[in-house]
Structure 1
Amino acid sequence: MKDYELSRAEVALLYPWTSMELKTDDAYNMDNLLFYMALVRSGFPVDVISEEQVVNGILKERSYKVLCTIGAPVLPENVASEIKRFVNNGGILLADYSGEGVGGFQPVYPELVEKPSVDHVAYVLDENVSRSIGLVKTIVPVGNRCEKLKATPDSKILARFENGDPAIIQFKEGKGSVVKAGSLIGWDYSNYPGHYDLAAMFPFHIRRNETVRLFISRILKGFDVTPPAESSNPDIEVAVWKGKDRSITLAINHLNEPSETEIRVNQKLGRNKYSLTEFISEHLVAMNIQDGTVSFKVKLPSFRGAAYLLRRI
């Protein structure tokens, strides 16, 4: 759209080319895809990048705040070195299950894995973490495989397996931080990508653990990464295009039924006056402004979307 620009991604997700070739196991690229789905359903713009792009300096070039190596447990040495440089310079790394390396291809921090394969059935989020995302349910079933982590002395334990071993740790590294999960966290979230309506039809086959999605969102927000817009109903996807004194929020209903949601646009408005209209019809939309951000409720027909224009007046 002329005079508008899609919100820039602050989060990059590394596509697991090397892991797919060397591990010959679809669990890893599926883990990557399921994690991507969790991010998108939380409103975060995400750039999927390649190992070659990392070596060529894309992390610095695009000023990403967070890099996710989810489902990418083994990497070429030069890629791992660039990721370490990114973290040491202030970046945030989110990584999950590594397992065993393959020859010279290793995870970024292989020293964090004490035992590459262990059996667990669930992990429990730290009480403070659970409280921060407003959840009572804190037990997360393990969706696929897991490992025994070797936490650093200064690690913060974000979750523990049922036997008390660390399941998710966070620690500082240089000027940045590392969040490391001992399970395939994409699989902990779901077992089937996309097809939102299919998931609603067959919840006994397709699972979605909202605790995991909200936990991931909370981690990113804790590192000052905020989605441009958020939908209270994750089956309604949102995105924001920004202009000079206005923005357009696009909302898409992925369900085969009318659906409602409350959309929050995380845009600092200042003291100016604003109007919100439906982009096509130009009908005014009721909105609430609080703490400099806008929220409004919408109802969308099945498999349909709508755009909303927020502008300064």
Structure 2
Amino acid sequence: MAGWGKWALMAVALAGTAAHAQPAADTAPTAFPQRATAYPDRPAIAVGVAWYPEQWPEERWDTDLKMMRDTGFNTVRIGEFAWSRMEPVEGKFDFAWMDRAIAAAQRHGFMVVIGTPTAAPPAWLTQTYPDTLRIDEKGVRAGHGGRRHFSFASQRYRDFSRRIATEMAKRYGRHPAVVGWQIDNEVGPPSWDPEAIAAWHAFLKQRYGTIDNLNKRWTTQYWSQFYNSFDQVPLHQTGQQNPGLLLDFRHFTTRMWTDFIQNQAKAIRPLIDKRSFITTNTMFWNAGFDHFVMHRDLDIASWDNYIPDGRPDWVANGANHDLVRGYKQRNFWLMETQPGRVDWVPVNRALDPGQVREMAWQAVAHGADAILYWQWRPAANGQETYHGAILGQDGKPNPIQPEIARVSADLTRAAPLLADTAPAADVAMLYSYDSRWAIDLQRHHRDFDPIKAFTDFYRPIRVQSQGVHVISPDADLARYRLVVAPNMMVMTETEAAALEAYVRGGGHLVLGPRSGMRDDANALYPRTQPGPLADLLGAEVAQYYALDEGVSLTGAIAGKASIWAEELTPTAPDVRTIATYRDPGGWLDGKAAIVTRKVGSGSITYVGAWLDPATMNTLAADLLAEAKVTPVIAGAHPDFEIAEREGKGKRILIAINHGKDARALTLPAGAKPAGGDWAGGRVAAHGVAWFTLPGSPR
């Protein structure tokens, strides 16, 4: 902290001034280290809060900032909803208050992340230019007063957004307190306005080249959908539309939001310190667009992790962290998380004592280098006044504040160990947005939820291996011993070729139900599952069935299956059936449910059924053993989440007890306690402990 304090004191003289250095020439994403920022003299782990100085009297600012420092924070995020304060009337900018706010934050030793305010346009903009407002699929134009009510296709709105972002970057791009930029806030809803429809037609023309090609790929002879020109193609998200159209709607939405974000990012990047990151914060398992694509030209990923019902499923939540890290395959920022409760579900239950801390540590274990809470204090009025906050409406600490202060103390203490480390894993799971969308469009069984299908595979594999990376299907697979694609229904020929090369190179590949069923236009392959990988597997699906009651499995993997079952037929003599259906009098009786085939030193396995948890546990153990994947700590109690972060010359073990009772933990040889709730060989209830490990990173 000494270096950080020295920086803060030296920089006070520059507070509140616009940047005078020449703009950097950089326009591409920066190669960031595995730490919170690319500034070597700043904290390796950021911990802080969203602060809204525009909502409070200026004489209160120093009090709040001091209280934040007393809570152990080193970072504030500001600005993302303050457009009407920055530009109160069109073309008239007022940054004097923000100058003073950033100066105050710097005076108290904070790093600052600035959010561009384009999620909530000012009234003068939407009233003067109503064409900037989004139109929903029913044709209703949004009104002013909420947020995210603009059209992502509006060129006028993009111009205004670029202008405010540029003015902010000119003023604060080289400010010594500012370390990062968040573009917009939780982008999401699309629009059906005239500009969006025109952009849709242009997108389709670029994607398919000719209308004849689109007709062929979408099979538009079905239901007389044939089009003579691109401008005949309707823009739809829902309803009984062509599956190719509906999947391309998601591709289009991805393109529009990516362009919207890059419109600001490209304006900002030449004006800011090249060490400052550019990101945008996303939400949960948001299916509105392909996050891998959106993040390609951003520096880091960041997301907002909330537990709406106040009852965390730590394994499923960990999968979401792993997915976010996979967007860039680099450590990420947790840009928002709840200090207790949310305010948007029917019952907004608070997390139990200790769970705010354990969830913060879970994020770090999965690769977060920053934990920022939302929010510091509830606004006196507004749509989110009931949301959890660190202070109450009276400006005094809420009961959660001491626990959050402990999080800050933990991370400040652990930061030197965690610096330049990343989560270790020998297992990768492939997450395909195309497949998720395609399954949701035509589930065939109401309960075939693609997220649950993914997490049902993830759960036993993560618990048993203690390390999983979630990555895009086009990522490099060579480093992983085991690759699992739980439901990769949409599979391109290129992706199939990469998966085959991985197996032939000695990797172990596992495919779940429906894999390889459709191409990237959402059309059925002429060969049944796994489509382009059927020859490699040496088996194919003869038929698939939606189940309204479970079926039994016998063989090396015995147990039960429900929801979905595929009948597999081996086509090669060396294919081994490891599970067979028992369904007396039914179509599936005696048919293969799971098959596997060795390919050199690698293997490919196809799981044709949705397995129950016990059966998945058995299968996961066999798959991990075959791939020679071993956990850091064998036999840990199920309440424990075990993770390893590693970097050059160091390995850090993190143990989180998600249970309500203290639990014993047998450490690996050479492990040394480094901090947390470790006493007498046990980790306290809702406790966290971290250790150093001997040996080199894997």
Q: Same fold (TM over 0.5)?
A: yes
Q: Which residue of 2 aligns with 1:91?
A: 507
- Matches for 1:28-107 after TM superposition, within 5 Å: 28-51=450-473, 53-54=474-475, 58-60=476-478, 63-98=479-514, 100-101=517-518, 102-103=522-523, 107=530
Residue pair 2:652, 2:691 contacting (<8 A) in 1 also: yes
Residue pair 2:565, 2:610 contacting (<8 A) in 1 also: yes
Residue pair 1:20, 1:28 contacting (<8 A) in 2 also: yes
1:260 paired with 2:666, answer: no
Per-residue deviation, 1:264: 5.6
1:279 paired with 2:683, answer: no
**Which of 146, 149, 158 is the matching residue for 2:578?**
158
The percent identity for this pair of structures is 23
Per-residue deviation, 1:93: 0.7
CA offsets per residue over residues 58-89 of structure 1, 9 Å max, x none?
123xx222211112223122211211121122
Per-residue deviation, 1:116: 2.2
Q: What is the CA–CA distance in structure 1 between the aligned matches of 2:599 and 2:664, rounded to whole Å?
A: 39
TM-score computed with the length of structure 1 as normaliser: 0.69
Q: Which residue of 2 aligns with 1:222?
A: 626
- Matches for 1:1-313 after TM superposition, within 5 Å: 1-2=415-416, 5-6=421-422, 8-23=424-439, 24=441, 25=443, 27-51=449-473, 53-54=474-475, 58-60=476-478, 63-98=479-514, 100-101=517-518, 102-103=522-523, 107=530, 108-110=532-534, 111-117=539-545, 121-126=551-556, 138=558, 140-151=559-570, 152-162=572-582, 163-185=589-611, 188-189=612-613, 209=614, 211-242=615-646, 247-255=651-659, 257-263=660-666, 265=668, 274=670, 276-280=671-675, 298-310=681-693
Residue pair 1:94, 1:179 contacting (<8 A) in 2 also: yes
Evaluate the alpha carbon distance shift between residue 6 and residue 231 of structure 1 in structure 2; reply closer, same or farther with a 3 A threshold.
farther
Q: CA RMSD in A?
A: 3.1
Per-residue deviation, 1:122: 1.8
Name the amino acid aligned to 1:160. Answer: T
Residue pair 1:122, 1:142 contacting (<8 A) in 2 also: yes
Per-residue deviation, 1:278: 2.9
Per-residue deviation, 1:34: 2.2
Residue pair 2:676, 2:688 contacting (<8 A) in 1 also: no
SS in 2 for 1:112: strand
Per-residue deviation, 1:175: 4.6
Q: What is the CA–CA distance in structure 2 between the aligned matches of 1:242 and 1:20, rounded to whole Å?
A: 32
SS in 1 for 2:454: helix
Name the amino acid aligned to 2:567. Answer: K
Evaluate the alpha carbon distance shift between residue 307 and residue 281 of structure 1 in structure 2; reply closer, same or farther with a 3 A threshold.
closer
Q: What is the CA–CA distance in structure 2 between the aligned matches of 1:150 and 1:112, rounded to whole Å?
A: 5
Residue pair 1:148, 1:165 contacting (<8 A) in 2 also: yes
Per-residue deviation, 1:246: 6.6
CA offsets per residue over residues 146-170 of structure 1, 9 Å max, x none?
1001123212222222133222221
Per-residue deviation, 1:281: 7.1
Name the amino acid aligned to 1:48. Answer: V
Evaluate the alpha carbon distance shift between residue 153 and residue 311 of structure 1 in structure 2; reply closer, same or farther with a 3 A threshold.
closer
Per-residue deviation, 1:299: 3.1
Q: What is the CA–CA distance in structure 1 between the aligned matches of 2:667 and 2:560, rounded to whole Å?
A: 30
Q: What is the CA–CA distance in structure 2 between the aligned matches of 1:94 and 1:281, rounded to whole Å?
A: 37
Q: Which residue of 2 aligns with 1:193?
A: none
Evaluate the alpha carbon distance shift between residue 281 and residue 82 of structure 1 in structure 2; reply closer, same or farther with a 3 A threshold.
closer
Q: What is the CA–CA distance in structure 2 between the aligned matches of 1:115 and 1:240, rounded to whole Å?
A: 42
Evaluate the alpha carbon distance shift between residue 74 and residue 122 of structure 1 in structure 2; reply closer, same or farther with a 3 A threshold.
farther
Higher relative contact order (CA 8 A, sep 6+): 1
Number of corresponding residues: 252
Bigger strand fraction:
1
Per-residue deviation, 1:2: 4.1
Residue pair 1:230, 1:264 contacting (<8 A) in 2 also: no
Q: What is the CA–CA distance in structure 2 between the aligned matches of 1:40 and 1:223, rounded to whole Å?
A: 14
Per-residue deviation, 1:260: 2.0
Evaluate the alpha carbon distance shift between residue 311 and residue 66 of structure 1 in structure 2; reply closer, same or farther with a 3 A threshold.
closer
SS in 2 for 1:239: strand
Q: What is the CA–CA distance in structure 1 between the aligned matches of 2:599 and 2:647, rounded to whole Å?
A: 37
Q: Which residue of 2 aligns with 1:292?
A: none
Q: What is the CA–CA distance in structure 2 between the aligned matches of 1:84 and 1:181, rounded to whole Å?
A: 17
Q: What is the CA–CA distance in structure 2 between the aligned matches of 1:70 and 1:264, rounded to whole Å?
A: 32
SS in 2 for 1:143: strand
Per-residue deviation, 1:177: 0.6
Q: What is the CA–CA distance in structure 1 between the aligned matches of 2:505 and 2:651, rounded to whole Å?
A: 32
Residue pair 2:417, 2:652 contacting (<8 A) in 1 also: no
Residue pair 2:639, 2:657 contacting (<8 A) in 1 also: yes
SS in 1 for 2:563: coil
CA offsets per residue over residues 251-293 of structure 1, 9 Å max, x none?
11112x114244463xxx6xxxx4x4432279886xxxxxxxx
Structure 2, unaligned runs of 5 or more: 1-414, 583-588
Residue pair 1:231, 1:261 contacting (<8 A) in 2 also: no
Per-residue deviation, 1:96: 1.6
CA offsets per residue over residues 84-120 of structure 1, 9 Å max, x none?
1211222111012127544256645345212122656
CA offsets per residue over residues 179-230 of structure 1, 9 Å max, x none?
1111124xx22xxxxxxxxxxxxxxxxxxx3x52243023212221222333
Per-residue deviation, 1:176: 2.0
Bigger helix fraction:
2
Per-residue deviation, 1:20: 1.7
Q: What is the CA–CA distance in structure 2 between the aligned matches of 1:21 and 1:175, rounded to whole Å?
A: 34
| Larger displacement relative to structure 2 (141-150 or 217-226) | 217-226
Q: What is the CA–CA distance in structure 1 between the aligned matches of 2:599 and 2:686, rounded to whole Å?
A: 44
Evaluate the alpha carbon distance shift between residue 118 and residue 225 of structure 1 in structure 2; reply closer, same or farther with a 3 A threshold.
same
